Structure 1
Amino acid sequence: MVAVVSACGGQKSGLVEGKTNVVTSFYPIYFLAKEIGGDKANVVNLVPAGVEPHDWTPKSRDLQTAGDAELFLYNGAGLEGWVADFVQGLPKDGKTVTGEVSKGIKLLTAEEEEAAALEVGEGEAHGEEAHNHEEEHHDEHGEGIDPHTWVSPKSALVMAGNVRDYLVSVDAANKSVYDANYEKLAAKLTEIDQSYIEELGKMPNKAIVVSHQAFGYLCRDYGLKQVAIMGLSPDAEPRAQDLLNIAKFVKDNGVKTIFFEELVSAELADTLAREANVGTLVLNPLEGLTPEQDKDGTDYISLMETNLKHLKQALQ
C-alpha cells in the first residue's frame, strides 16, 4: 500500500490501494471530496497549502498522479487556465474520470458584475483591470466569466451534489455511503446559507470593499454589493485613480472596513485603509488554507462562519 501524504502536499503521489483515489485541483473541492468520500475515498489536493491557486500550474508528476487516480475534479468556470491541456494529457487508455464541479451554477459574467457593482468615482472601480482579465477566463462561448463560484454557500451546495455524483459514477458500490455523507454536509451548508440570509438581511449597510473581486456570487446570493481594489485576478494592478476613487467612496459612504485576504499581500488594502482612516479585516475567498490553518483544523465551514462574523462586524 502506498503511504498517504498530506492532502495539501505535493510530494510523491499520495495514492492508496483499496480506496477510490480522487485528485482535486484546489482546496474547496478537496474539502467537499474529503467530506463526501469519507473513509471510502483517498483525496489528494494538487495546490499546496499557502499557495494562491490563480498563480499555480501543474508539474508532470501532478499529471501522473491524476492519471493513476479514479477521479480528477476541478472547479471549471475558467479558474484553472491549465485544465484543458492537463485533461488532454491524461492517458488515453486510462481509467481517470474527470469532472467539472461548478456545472449547474448560474455563472456570472464580468459584464454582469460590472453592471451590478457600485459606481465609484468616474465609472466602475478597476473596470479596466476587470476587462483585461476577461481575456484569461472564458467559457465555451468566449464570454468573460467570474470563476469564484465556491465563495457562496448556495453554490457550494450545488458543487457538493456534483462531487457526490462523480464519486458514485466511479464507485457505485459505495453509493449509500456517499449519499449519507453528502446529506450530512448539505445540512451544514444549508444551515450556513440560512445564517447568511438572516444575518446579512438585517444589516443596514450592503457595500463591501474588498482587495480582489472574488465575492460576486456571495454578493448576488445575499444582496451585497462589492467594490474591489483589484480585478478577478488577485494580482491585477489597480490604477492610481481607482484607489483615489475607492478612498473617496469609503469616506463618503461611511464604510468602516476594508477587507483583505491571507494568500495575497495586504499592502494595497492597508494603504487604502490608512488613506480612508478605517480598519481592516480578513474576508477569506476560501481559495486555500494557510499552512497554519491546515495544521489547526480550520476548514471550509469554519472559514464561512468567520466570514459571516466579519461581514456583520463591517456592515453594522
Structure 2
Amino acid sequence: MKFSKKATLGLLFSLTLIVAGCGQKSASDTNASSTGTGNAVSTESEAAKLNVQVSFYPMYEFTKNVAGDLAEVHTLVPAGMEPHDWEPTPQDIASIEKADVLVYNGAGMESWMDQVTGSLSNASLIQVEASKGINLLEGGEHDHHHGDSEATEDDHNHDHNQTNQATTEEHDHDHAVEVTSEEHDHDHDAEAEEGHGHDHGGLDPHVWLSPALAVKEVRNIEAGLAQAAPEHAEQFKQNADAYVAQLESLDQDFKAAVADSKRKDFITQHAAFGYLAQEYGLQQVPIAGLSPEQEPSAAQMASVIDFAKEHQVKTIFFETLVSSKVSETIASEVGAQTAVLNPIEGLTEEEIAAGMDYISVMRQNLEALKVALNE
C-alpha cells in the first residue's frame, strides 16, 4: 500500500470516517464503561490531559519525559515493528484526528505524514516536527567505505560542526512548530513517487542517535506542548530541563569514551549512525543504506569486506528489529565477531519488559562502541 496512490488514500479516509463515526468510544468513554461510575473523577482527570500521538519510539520517549503526567502519549508504530515502511491504518488516522498534538521526527522518516495530515479536518491539531531547525545530512554524506579509508580524523571531524552545533538557546526562539502541509510539502515532493519514500531524496532522518541533536528535538517538543497547553509551559520546561540534563551527561560520556580510542571507524548494518559519527569524530561504514530493508549489492559487500580486512576490524555491528544475516556473513568472511548497535527505531517486547529506555539503550550502544573502537 502506498499513500501516493490517490485512490488508496481516498479509500483509507473513507474507512477512517466509518471507524470514527460508527459509535466508536473515546478513551474516556471506554474507561468509564469498563470501570463503572466510581471512576468519574479519574475520567475527568484523563479528559483534562493532552491527547498526544507520536509516530515511533524515540518520539514517545522524548515526549513522555517532557509531558510528564500532563498528557496521555500514544505511539502509532507498535513495539517491535521497524518504522521505516510502516503505514497507518484507518484506526491510526482516526486517533490522529482526535489528538491535540502530533509529534513526529520528520526528515522523511514518516513517509506517510504529509498525505495523512493534509487531509485531516482537525484544524486545531498542533503538529510538531522534532527535527525542525536541525541541519540534515544527505544519505551517505559521512559514510566511509574502503575507498575513503585513508581519510584522517581531522579530515573527517565535524565537516558540518559549525552549522550543526547551533545552541539550544539559538534554536529555542523558533517555536513555529505548527507546520501546515503547504509549509512542509517542499521537503517531501520526492515522496510522491513509488518506492521507499522515507529516503526523502537521500536525507538521513536518524538525528535522535546524536544525544546533542536529541536535545534539540526535546526542545522542539517542549515548544509544541507549550503551544497546546500554555498554562503548563513552565512545567513542560522543568521536565524538559531535567531530561536534557540526562542527554547532556550522555553526550559528555560519548565524548570522553571516543577521545582516546584506538580507532575511529565502525561497521554497521545500515546507515543510521551518521549524526552520531559526525558528532564524535567517528567514521561510519554502513553495509547498506538509510533503510534497513535495503539489500546491499555484491559490490557494496565486497567494499565493506575489503575495508574490514584492511583495517583489521574485529566487530561487525547488527541491529534489533531486522535480520542480522548480512552482518553475520561479513563477520564470517573477515573473522570478526558480531555485536548489537541499536538504532533505537523501536524497542522489542523483551526490552520493554526489562525496563529499557532511550538513555539505557544509548548507554549500551556506548559500551559496545568502546569495545569495538579499542580492539
**TM-score interval, normalised by the smaller of the two chains:** 0.7 to 0.9
2:303 is matched with 245
2:53 is matched with 23
Of 237-246 and 196-205, deviating more is 237-246
Shift of 1:133: 8.4
* One-letter amino acid of the structure 1 residue matched with residue 264 of structure 2: K
Shift of 1:246: 1.2
Matched, 1:309 2:364: no
* One-letter amino acid of the structure 2 residue matched with residue 137 of structure 1: D
CA distance in 2: counterparts of 1:269 and 1:276, whole angstroms = 11
DSSP 3-state at the match of 1:298:
coil
Q: TM-score, normalised on structure 2?
A: 0.74
Q: TM-score, normalised on structure 1?
A: 0.87
1:212 is matched with 270
- Max Rg structure: 2
RMSD: 2.0
More helix by share: 2
Q: 1:202 to 1:154 in 2, by over 3 A?
A: same
Q: 8 Å contact 1:73–1:100 — kept in the other structure?
A: yes
* One-letter amino acid of the structure 2 residue matched with residue 119 of structure 1: H
Instruction: Map 1:39-118 to 2 at 5 A.
Output: 39-91=69-121, 93-110=122-139, 113-114=140-141, 116-118=142-144
Matched, 1:119 2:145: yes
Deviations 1:198-235 (A, max 9, x none): 11112110111000000000011111101111111111
Q: 8 Å contact 1:46–1:62 — kept in the other structure?
A: yes
Q: 8 Å contact 1:81–1:136 — kept in the other structure?
A: yes
Deviations 1:135-159 (A, max 9, x none): 7533xxxx53111111110110000
Runs of at least 5 residues in structure 2 that lack an aligned partner in the other structure: 1-27, 32-44, 150-193
Instruction: Map 1:1-316 to 2 at 5 A.
Output: 1-2=28-29, 16-91=46-121, 93-110=122-139, 113-114=140-141, 116-120=142-146, 136-138=198-200, 143-316=201-374
Q: 8 Å contact 2:143–2:271 — kept in the other structure?
A: no
Shift of 1:134: 8.5
Shift of 1:3: 5.5
Q: 8 Å contact 2:108–2:197 — kept in the other structure?
A: no
Over the matched positions of the two proteins, sequence identity in percent amounts to 40
CA distance in 1: counterparts of 2:198 and 2:98, whole angstroms = 29
Shift of 1:89: 2.3
Q: 1:183 to 1:135 in 2, by over 3 A?
A: closer
* One-letter amino acid of the structure 2 residue matched with residue 44 of structure 1: H
